[in-house]
Every structure is written in structure tokens, then in C-alpha cells.
Structure 1
Amino acid sequence: MPSSPQAVADRALWQQAQLHLRDGRYLQAQRAFDRLLERNPALVPARLMCAATLLAQGRLRAACEQMRRAAGAPGSDAALVCRVAQALSAIGETTAARACLAHPAVASTRSGAALVALAHVHQGLGEHPQALALMDRARALGHADADFRYYRALQLQFNGRLHEAEAEMEACLRDGSTIGRASLSLTRIRRQRPDAHHVDALRARLRQASPGSEDLAAIAFALHKELDDLDDRAPAWEALRLANATMAARLPRYDCVAEANLFDALIARSGAAALANVATPSPGPTPIFIVGLPRSGTTLLERVLGNHSRVAAAGELDDFPRQLRWCADTHGHALLDHDLLQASARIDFAELGQRYLAQTRWRAGGRDFYIDKLPPNFMLLGFIRRALPQARVVHVSRASMDVCFSNYRAMFGTAYGYSYGFESLAHYHGQYRRLMAHWHAAMPGFVLDLPYELLVHDSEAATARLFDFCGLPFEPGCGDTTRNTGAVATLSAAQVRQPIHARGLGEWRRYEHQLEPLRALIEPA
């Protein structure tokens, strides 16, 4: 049958918008999508593309509105529901994304690909039991490609099913797939032993990996970890040096001047007078922010605090930085940059607090407090103070060399590019220390410093101090992390399921000679 005049006109507008997009004419593309949506408001793909053109112009609020409208009419196609949920989650519209995930199409679909994609949305929201359940549905439908098996193995690990995760990672490697990622994930699951390790296999994979590749870096990090577990220090160090050099070469060079300028600008805009101007506290469940450098013990503290009967552990949330960007109407992917900092002058902090709470309070699950554990939120504490004065903030501090060495031993991908070199690592650590000193001076009493060393040496004393600060009654036994069976998705996912131990204290001294240049930068004479 011939197409109707409206269908022909709609196709013409769609093609026109696509041509504008191809040539980078975002405003013209947006106008074409606007006309198309005036004619057909229920055309969800067009609404999502319109949102993308708005983001390309930096118009975050308008893009969010388009995505929320798309969520109101996704139809019955699970793949389209998933696209909407992915888009909403990516820009911080958490509650709308969760509503999409509850759509009847999700329960009825028999598309393995759609189920896997929806599982990734749950994973991004920190809902790991739900993510694994969808992956298991996909597996029952025959979905079994290499990437799927790898990500399902990660979900098994996050959900505490470590033996199954180890077996699935081994199967991935036997298939010859996901070599780098699976090699590193496998070795993190447990401490290696002389009678049970993968050193020979890792060395063989390292020889086969493409020079300069991310696979090579991941295998080298894995080899370091296994050799270190076996106390074979000289080759362990060489593997670690290779891993970091490979990642450093893959990323843009760390700019010490630009980083220091950003911290300078943040401090200049965050004086005591400005920070005293706070929003009115809101009733309801109270967020507890756990901050610090990566690998400082933030996950361990979350597990301890999450043992309390009145506290829910929500994992690493990006809701506050997302809502900060919404209130500033400034699109971007960095936690903080100069554009956002400049735009923060026009933020309504009461609105920021309300939007953050609207996106996160469901995570409390009926409890009085919930934990938001995103380590780099230490940069945003001034904004948190102004938007959420009722919040509690706990900063996990760790001895400088211990935390820096732990960063150097970790593969963070592109997340913390400073961690792959001594100079950049020492410089970033110095900026972090400088900013934390500023927050304490400008907001006395708002942030509790809790030393990692106290947490591992005397967990009862640490928890008593922590509970007192948060306004919680003391509950004995919260320092027993083995009783916390909740999901965890950080690099410490396997480690924090063990009893608290002090192996990480002074661990850098095992490589004291090799780390002397780093120590000299961090602790100059």
C-alpha cells in the first residue's frame, strides 16, 4: 500500500535531521526533530535523537525533559524500553530509568540481547541481584557469547558467588576470549597459592598480547598480583612497571598545572562565607557520604557501616554530580571542570538537594540512613554542604604511601589517569590533601576523618566513633564484614568479604627500593 502523505513528510523530516546530525549542525537537527515530534509526539526514537542533539549543544535540562517524555510512551518493545532506560540512567534520571525497568515488556521479553542490555542498566544503578537475574534469563534463552559470559561472571562476583565466578572466568579464558579483562578479574577473586595460581598462563598470554594494548596492561596487572601473592617480588615489580607504563602511554598526559588550577578555582569559590549559606534540611532518610582517594578503604567502611540495622548501603552513586550538572545546566562527563565550576554560581542549592534526594531516597529501603560511597565526591563537599546540610560525610584517610601504592597497583581504565605514574600520582595526592585541609578549615565539624589504620587495628573503636558522628546508637559486631552479604561492585569485591585484616598496612615497603622516587615526591625531606 502507498504511504500516507504524513508518513512521507515524517520520513523527509527524519532524513533531514539525520543529514544535519551527520554534518554537525545540531541546532538545525534539533529543529527538524522538534517539527517531527509536533506531528508525531509518540515517536520515541525521534525524541531520543532530539535529546542527543540538545546534549551536543550543552542543554542538559532540555535533553532530560525530552528523555522523560520518551519514558512516558515507550510502547511494548523491550529493546526500545531498554534504549530509553539507558538514556535516562546515563544522565542521572534514576527514578525514571527504574520505572522503565519495571515496564511489562521487560517481564515478557524473550530477547536475550534485550535482557543483557537491561541487566547492564541495573548494574549501572547498583542493582546487582536484579542484573544477575536478567542475565540468568538470557542464559536460559541460549545467550552465551564471550562478552555475556564475562559480564555474568562479574555479576556472580559482585553478588558474592565467588566460586561460580571463578569457574566462569576460567571458561572465558579457555575459549580464548576477553583475555585481558578476564585474566585480571580472575586473579582478583582470591589470593593465589603456590599450588593454585595462573602465573605460567599469564606469562604466555603476555607474550601473545599486542604491544601497547589494554589487554597487555590488564594481563601485566594480573601477573603482578599473582607474583606478589606468591612473594616473588622482583618479577612482580617488573610486571607492575610494564602495566602502568602501558596504561600511561594510552592516556592523555596528566597536566599538573591544569589540575592545580582547577583545585585553586574550587577553593577560591568555596570560602567559609559561601559555605555558610545552606539550604533548609529536608525530613526523611539521611544520606551518609563516604569519600576519600580510591583504594583508601571506602568500601571496607561501607561494609562496616552497612551492618548497622538503621543504615542501607547503596554503593557508588553518581547522583550528586549528575544533579549538580542538571542544576547548572552544563553537560559534561568529568566530575568537575571549570565550566561547571563557573556555572555553579547560578545554582539553586535547595533545588539541588531536593533533586538529589528525589533520585536516591528509594535506596534507603525504609531505613533512616543510606550510604552514598563515591570516593571522588571529596571534591564536591562544599556543594554537598550547601545542598544537604543534614548529610553526614565520612572521609577515610590512609597513610600516604600505602594509598598511593595501592592506586599504582590498580587498573582503573580511564577513570583515574593520574594513578599510572609517580609524578602524577604524587601531584594528585598533594591536591587531594590540600583540598581536604581546606574543607576542614571552611566547614569545621562537617566531615569526620576516619583513619583506615584505626578501622583495621581497632574496628570497635572506629565504629563507635563513626556511629557517634552519624547519630546512630552503637551496635556491637558491625566490624565483622563477613556477616554483610550485600552486593559490592568495586575492585575490593572479593577482599571485603573476608574478615578485616591489616595486610595492607605498610605494604609498600615490600617494594621500598623501587618506590623510593615516589616516596621522595610525596614526603620530601
Structure 2
Amino acid sequence: MNSPNLSTAENRLRQQARQCVDKQQWEAAQAALESLVVQVPDDATARLELADVLFQRGRLRESTAWMLRVAQRLPRDADFIIKVTQRLVAVGETLAARSCLDLLAQAPGLPPKWLVSQAHLRFMLGEIASARALMESAMAAGIDSPGEQHLYAMLLQFSGDIDRACTVLENCLKRWPHFGDAAMVLVNLRKQKPEANRLDFVQEQLRQLTRDSKDPGAMFVRAEFEYAQFKVLDDLKRHEEAWPALARCNALMHELNPYDAAGEAAVTDALMRLPAPDNQVGRAGSGPVFDGPVPIFIVGMPRSGTTLLDRMLSGHSQVVSAGEIIDFWRQLHWAADVTPARAQGLLQIIQHSADIDYAELGARYLRQTQWRAQGRACYIDKLPANIQMVAFIRRALPHAPILHMVRDPVDTCFSNLKAMFGNVSSYSYDLQALAHYYGQYARLVRHWHDHLPGAMLDVSYASLVRDPESTMRGVLEYCGLSLQENCLHPERNASPVATPSSAQVRESIHTRGLEQWRHYAKQLEPLRQAIGAPAVNAD
């Protein structure tokens, strides 16, 4: 038993640490917590707080090490285990996070709120089937809120159960008619038709919503319903009415999420200043074959057809899709010992790039991701933003194929403009911002091709939908695989897909995605002029 004096000292240190954290005095908070951990080495809460403070100080490796120590000796406290798991997911310790969730799954009679927390975390890890099962248990236990109904509907959508997803969302909107998240997803799940559409409902909600409020929440909800109005009108081919709704949506979202053009350009400039590796590292397949499943990276602009390529490639019997995982970014941050901080974080990584142990980076990435292969020879890491990671991937994983999806510039940009990504992808809500972002992407692609020849294979979206057999034959040959019939039939692929186009890519291959922008050619002329001539070959 601790002596009274020791207990008093512990309480003093806890109070001191709490006060320092409240004042964001991180160095002093670290000192107090380190002293507390020495006095009470089994105190899991103090260890986790120390990990949080180290993270705030930018010491990612030390922070992660403390989190892992906490995960090895977890108390029987579901709320605490959830907190630990959230942090482990955020820093890329996927294996430890899954172990925490497996432990939590053994606890009998957990309240529904913890089932929902587990579902969120399984979803973040890309385990759609597990997340769906947890949500079904939570809902059977009485959990019921708009957000939880929305999450359940999304998991149904990603699983391919579109009818049930629609039913959940329709019931949700009957109870919470101003819930914009549900309205957006519902109109996206099916093409709206003259005889069956949600236009009257959406327009009635817009009439009821406050027009001039500057409250961010109210602005976001209005943007969601404006987007839903655009989607219905666009489906109904009422393009002259549709464009103003999209413009109002994007104006609201641009105000809420201003685009950092200078930051984006700074990242591109810094990436282009990276020293070129020798030729042996620059080409896919040039390094030694590593043990276990091979990752295949799909990169490019968002909305360029990466999900379609993913679905076709994962139709192969030796390939599975891991979805849009950000594991390489997380492991790169660990390797450079830089805490995530958007553009600023990547700039710091680039500054430290010469000191990174790329063999260790590659090994960490494989250790945290190869479980996703599910017994297959290859697994797909489909994250368009990894176009910025090409040089790092080539150094860390020289044997891994990188597929670069290429689509007509205006088609790509228009698809981004009408996607409504929420409070991310700030470039997509303004024509000039979109043109600038595309320009940075095109600059970087040219640079990779010039300075890392053979580092990635360009895959034309137009060729993929017009001549899928020969295009996929080339893709599979690049990946060391032979063509299989199912690769030409993405509609047969029953595996989950968690992207905005998850409903559309369950269809057979079609060419409807080509030149959709021409319906709005007049309104998009400033964008077309800003982009100029195609910067990458789309044919």
C-alpha cells in the first residue's frame, strides 16, 4: 500500500500535469507526467496522457512507443480501451489497434454506445463487414440517433445492400427532415428519375432553412441540401436549373473551407526538389522481392477512375482491395518523426527525407498492412493522394507496382467540382482553386515521369472503359499477373467498397462518365481556360 506522503505527491503531480496541459505548457506537462509514471509505473492513464503530450510536442516516435506500452497492459475499462485504440489508429499502429478491438469484443454485455464506437473504428480500419455487424447489434440494442442511422446506411451502401440503405435513409429523413447527410447519400444511391425523385422534399427543406446564417453548422446543412438539389436536377437533365444549385453549394463550402494555394504549391515545389534516386530504385520491380503479399498502389487525381480500376483489378483471384488506406502516409510520418499537420507536416518530412531509413519504412508499412491481403498474393492500396508519395514509395518499396489513373482534365475537374466531399478537399469548391490544384498535380506527374522514369504505369480511364480487355491485360502484366474474365466484370465483384462512387462501380463497364462536363460547358469555360492544354495524356 502506498504511504500517505506518496499519495499526496502523486495527486500533486496529476494536478500539476493537468494545469500544464490546460495552459498548453507541453514541456512542463511532460516533466510532471514522467515523474508520475516513475512513481506509479502501472498507471495506464498517466502513460496515455504522457503519450498525448509527446504527440503535442511533435515527438511522434516516443508518443507511439508509450501508446504501445499502454496497449500491452490495458485495464478492464471499455471507454479507456476505445481511447487507446483511437490513438493507435491515428498513428498507424493498426495491428495493435486491432488487438485492442479484439479484446473489447470479448467483453460481455457492452452498452450500445461502445458497440457504435467499435463500429466506427472497424470502419476506419476498412473492416466493413465487422463494422456493419457491430452497428446491427447496436441498433438491435436500441441505439438511435441521426448520426448512427447514417453510419449504418453508409455501411449497407459500402456492402452493396443499396435497397436497405435507401430504406434506412428514407426513414431517417421522415424523423429528421433537416438531416443533410442522409439527404445527400440518398440521392446519390440511385439515379433520380421523373417518376421517382426527391426534388420536392429537398426544395421544401431548403425553403425552411435559414438562408443568411453565418453559423458554420447551418451553412453546411444548407450546402448539403443545395448539393442534393443539384444531383436530382442533373439526373433529370434540367441542367440550367442544376448549375445554380451546385454553385450555391460550392460557394458555401468554399467559404467554410478556404483553399491554401500557397501551401499546395510549396508542397509541390518541395517534392520536385527531392534528390532523384538511382535508376535501380526508380523503377517498379527493380528491388528484391519481399516476403508475403505485394501491395499495388493506385494513385492519381480524385474522381479520375481509381475506384473502377480498383474494382476491376480486385476481380482477379490473386488480388484483394484494401480500399483507401492512409497507412503509407502514417508510416512515413513515423519514419521522419513528424506529427501529422497537413501541408506543413509533409514539408517537414521532405526536409528530413535524407535521414529516413527507407528499408525500415517499407518494413513497417508491410507489417501494418499485409494482413489486409486475406491470403491473396496482392492487395491494393488505393489512395489517389499517394501521387505525392511516389518517390517515397519507390525508395521504401521498390518492388511494389504503382498504377497512375489518367482521365481527361476537364472531366476530372468537373467530377471533383460536383462531388461534395464535405469539409475536406477544399480545392474542389471553387473553379480557380480547382484549376490551381490540378495544375500542381500535373506538374508533379510530369516531374515523376521525367525524374523517375518507369516508376509508375499510366492507365487511361478512356481506354479502360472503351477497350477494357487490352487495357487490363497491360495493367495485369505490369503487376505480374495474367488476365482473368472477372477483371472485365466489376459488377460481379461483391467485396465492400467505401468510396463516394461505391454504388456506380457495382455496374458493368460503361462510357457514361466521358465528357459529362459538356452539359455545363458555358459555366466551365473559365476552368477550361485556366487548365489550358491537357497536362497529361488522357488517351
TM-score bucket of the superposed structures, by smaller chain: over 0.9
Are the structure 2 counterparts of residues 416 and 361 from structure 1 closer, same or farther at C-alpha, using a change threshold of 3 Å? same
DSSP-derived class of the 1:450 partner? strand
Q: Distance in 2 between matches of 1:93 and 1:164?
A: 34
1:165-203 deviations in Å (ceiling 9; x for gaps): 111111211112661111111111111111111111111
Counterpart for residue 296 of structure 2: 288
Pair 1:450-2:456 in alignment: no
Superposed, 1:65-104 pairs within 5 Å as 65-104=65-104
1:100-129 deviations in Å (ceiling 9; x for gaps): 111055542421111111111100000010
Counterpart for residue 250 of structure 1: 256
Q: What TM-score do the two structures reach when normalised by structure 1?
A: 0.96
Q: Distance in 2 between matches of 1:161 and 1:386?
A: 40
Are the structure 2 counterparts of residues 114 and 189 from structure 1 closer, same or farther at C-alpha, using a change threshold of 3 Å? same
Counterpart for residue 199 of structure 2: 199
Stretches of structure 2 lacking an aligned partner (at least 5 in a row): 535-539
Superposed, 1:258-277 pairs within 5 Å as 258-273=263-278, 276=281
Pick one of 214, 218, 224 that aligns with 2:220. Answer: 214
Q: Distance in 2 between matches of 1:219 and 1:477?
A: 38
Deviates more, 1:325-334 or 1:315-324: 325-334
Q: Distance in 1 between matches of 2:177 and 2:21?
A: 35
8 A contact 2:390–2:455 mirrored in 1:
no
Counterpart for residue 389 of structure 2: 380
8 A contact 1:291–1:373 mirrored in 2:
yes
Counterpart for residue 316 of structure 2: 308
How far the C-alpha of 1:8 sits from its partner, in A, is 3.9
Deviates more, 1:175-184 or 1:237-246: 175-184
Are the structure 2 counterparts of residues 504 and 270 from structure 1 closer, same or farther at C-alpha, using a change threshold of 3 Å? farther
1:134-167 deviations in Å (ceiling 9; x for gaps): 1111112211122111111111111111111111
The aligned amino acid for 1:392 is P
Stretches of structure 1 lacking an aligned partner (at least 5 in a row): none
Pair 1:504-2:509 in alignment: no
The aligned amino acid for 1:417 is S
Aligned residue-pair number: 524
Q: Distance in 2 between matches of 1:76 and 1:180?
A: 38
Q: Distance in 1 between matches of 2:165 and 2:342?
A: 32
Are the structure 2 counterparts of residues 75 and 274 from structure 1 closer, same or farther at C-alpha, using a change threshold of 3 Å? farther
Q: Distance in 1 between matches of 2:378 and 2:74?
A: 34
Q: Distance in 2 between matches of 1:17 and 1:51?
A: 13
Q: Distance in 1 between matches of 2:380 and 2:264?
A: 28
DSSP-derived class of the 2:296 partner? strand
Q: Distance in 1 between matches of 2:20 and 2:200?
A: 54
8 A contact 1:404–1:425 mirrored in 2:
yes
Superposed, 1:343-492 pairs within 5 Å as 343-492=352-501
1:187-232 deviations in Å (ceiling 9; x for gaps): 1111111111111111121223344511111111111111100111
1:378-430 deviations in Å (ceiling 9; x for gaps): 00100000000010000110000100000000111232111111111111111
How far the C-alpha of 1:133 sits from its partner, in A, is 0.8
Are the structure 2 counterparts of residues 5 and 47 from structure 1 closer, same or farther at C-alpha, using a change threshold of 3 Å? same
How far the C-alpha of 1:317 sits from its partner, in A, is 0.8
8 A contact 1:294–1:407 mirrored in 2:
yes
8 A contact 2:289–2:399 mirrored in 1:
yes
Q: Distance in 2 between matches of 1:350 and 1:96?
A: 21
Counterpart for residue 15 of structure 1: 15
Compute the RMSD of aligned alpha carbons. Answer: 2.0
8 A contact 2:307–2:499 mirrored in 1:
yes
Counterpart for residue 39 of structure 1: 39
Pair 1:515-2:527 in alignment: no
8 A contact 2:316–2:486 mirrored in 1:
no
DSSP-derived class of the 1:184 partner? helix
How far the C-alpha of 1:455 sits from its partner, in A, is 1.2
Q: Distance in 1 between matches of 2:411 and 2:117?
A: 38
8 A contact 2:81–2:104 mirrored in 1:
no
- Which ranges of 4 or more aligned residues in structure 1 deviate by more than 6 Å? none
1:21-79 deviations in Å (ceiling 9; x for gaps): 01111111112112222222332222221111111100000110111111111122222
Percent identical pairs in the alignment equals 43
Deviates more, 1:233-242 or 1:137-146: 137-146
Deviates more, 1:273-282 or 1:350-359: 273-282
Q: Distance in 2 between matches of 1:69 and 1:369?
A: 32
Pair 1:236-2:242 in alignment: yes
Q: Distance in 1 between matches of 2:125 and 2:341?
A: 17
Q: Distance in 2 between matches of 1:238 and 1:180?
A: 18
DSSP-derived class of the 2:342 partner? coil
Pair 1:226-2:232 in alignment: yes
1:297-355 deviations in Å (ceiling 9; x for gaps): 11111100001001111001110000000000010242763212112221000010001
Counterpart for residue 299 of structure 1: 307
Are the structure 2 counterparts of residues 284 and 35 from structure 1 closer, same or farther at C-alpha, using a change threshold of 3 Å? same
